[in-house]
Amino acid sequence: MTDLTNLGVKAIRDGVAAGDFTAREVAEGFNANVAAAAALNAFIVATPEHALAAADRIDADRAAGKPLGKMAGVPIGMKDLFATRGVQTTAASHILEGFKPEYESTVSQKLWDAGAGMLGKLNMDQFAMGSSNETSHFGNVISPWRGRGGNADLAPGGSSGGSSAAVSARLAPAATGTDTGGSIRQPAALTGISGIKPTYGRCSRWGIVAFASSLDQAGSMARDVTDCAIMLEAMAGFDPKDSTSLDLPVPEWSTSLDANLKGKRVGIPREYRMDGTDEEILKSWDEGIAWLKDAGAEVVDISLPHTRYALPAYYIIAPAEASSNLARYDGVRYGLRELPQGANLQDMYAATRAAGFGDEVKRRILIGTYVLSAGFYDAYYTQAQKVRTLIARDFEKAWAQCDVILAPTTPNAAFALGDKLDDPLAMYLNDVFSVPASLAGLPAMSVPAGLNSAGLPLGLQVIGKPFDEQGVLDAGLAIEQRAQFSAMPEKWW
């Protein structure tokens, strides 16, 4: 029998339904891979019993002739930002260490209802703040990839670095991610997998630890476009508990996939050819343009003139929202409490936050508090919101000329852990291509495009119109079929 851990979501689901193997056999295989990969530090908590119990329910349902869900028999990794009832949920922070929610996030519950099982809670950048998975209280996630001829530990991207590493290393066939400014797409690109951020509001945010509420969006990460589509169908849908949730039906994206782009127009934004971008990234972009032409699309040049302001606007708006959201962690109701002898309430707040938040989280809270303060609100926060509106308007104008946009996902391939840690601005530049779509709330996806000269994965990004996940997935599939990306990291862990 084929090693079941080499199979993706669709192959596992269909194989279980056909009786080619049992869901328990699949869960046991992935549980074994998770246990053997401690060196990657991709999981904060492993939950093998959860995966086996879900698998046994699926096997029993199949034996009884009951209908099976979209994710039946598929064990997945759950980013530690999603509340899971009775299982530690920390957002990779010390301040929430030991916290076990009494409730389940809407997205995770939808996945369990669809027949998925949980292999464990995946490591991430603390409170989803980071691009390399180096801000986690539980230590770095290490990419399963190695540069050709090198042994340096590489960043798996962030904040969903545990998710990307787990899927790439065959510890899970798929994983949940969240994307605030690129935290699904950037790690997917750095580890050679696919990942989609849907339109803002397509997936419920209820039960997801908040970073920046007007930007956060859950999405799927898997080995290919079809698997991302299947998983996203299970995750998406209206939720009355989330006031920003879209009250729209969830399309059957996976069954409507079509790589024939005849009649479609693909926009190439001239502002994305930025100084300092790796030449191999630009070459990969040119290849992607040729692939989409081959798929039947017409390629058109477009302008997104306010792109240069997207990153500074994002790093005002996101920290501002974070400073508000993270004010709830005060040591009073749940999580860590530091109470120095003789301390008053204010001292307890200060001591708890000093011990519980990492440096990057503190940095963003300080920035956010500063830009929201009385003397600077109009100068920074109000201006950033105006820029956000202009960026969204750029995309609206572009849709008159094109149906989807093709761009690089990241300005570079995976970098060594520690390389950018002391330079926050260099780290923030990792998000330069992914932030504009987040500010505009648009669906966007990263698909593997090939390897660079060092043998490391490169990703291409497809951005779509609001609610047009189908167009994004179709263009992603066209790239996937032509890139023929089949590279895997060589096992060293």
Enumerate the active-site residues.
79, 159, 183
Q: For the CA atoms of 350, 351, 352, 353, what is the dihedral angle to 10 degrees? A: 50
Work out the number of other CB atoms within 10 angstroms of the CB of residue 106: 25
403 and 265 Cβ atoms separated by less than 8 Å = yes
Q: Phi-psi bin for 32: left (phi > 0), alpha (psi -120 to 50), beta?
A: alpha
256 and 470 Cβ atoms separated by less than 8 Å = yes
CA-nearest of 85, 105, 90 to 242 is 105
Q: Please, how many CA atoms are within 13 Å of residue 87, restricted to the half-sphere of its CB?
A: 26
Taking the C-alpha atoms of residue 315 and residue 304, their distance in angstroms, rounded to an integer, is 19
* 429: phi then psi, degrees, rounded to nearest 5: -65, -15
Q: 467 exposed, middle or buried (CB, 10 Å; 0-12, 13-18, 19+)?
A: middle
Taking the C-alpha atoms of residue 440 and residue 488, their distance in angstroms, rounded to an integer, is 33
In the block, tokens 């949940």 appear at 176
- Give per-residue burial for 189-208: e unless 16+ CB within 10 Å, then b: bbbbbbbbbbbbbbbbbbbb
